[in-house]
Structure 1
Amino acid sequence: MLGWALVFAVLAVIAGLLGFVGLAGLAATIAKVLFVVFLVLLVASFVIRALRGQSVV
């Protein structure tokens, strides 16, 4: 998921440089959403592993 967020972020930068402002905004929004979902799942994974008594590293 983090990989897809990075792909959309790069796509947003390239589209912005080429003048496709609408596409750049959409790609940036998608990248932000995917990054937030990644962070939520990462924190949830850490919490679940900690509650089970497993190492979180």
Structure 2
Amino acid sequence: MNDNFTHIFDIVKQYENGEGGYVSCLELTDADRNEVSAAINTLAEDLSTLYGKLGLN
């Protein structure tokens, strides 16, 4: 799971605007949005199993 967070942070870092923020999502290409979306979906899948992994079902 830590690797997935790191992957997302690495992706998002590419879109820093140099002023303490990030470029607008409207400036991203479809490929950019797909990359971010896929990484977030992978993390979401991991997070959805967290309760079970911790025995909190």
Structure with the larger helix share? 1
Larger Rg: 1
Greater relative contact order: 1 or 2 (C-alpha under 8 angstroms, separation 6 or more)? Answer: 2
Task: Report the TM-score, using the length of structure 1 for normalisation.
Answer: 0.49
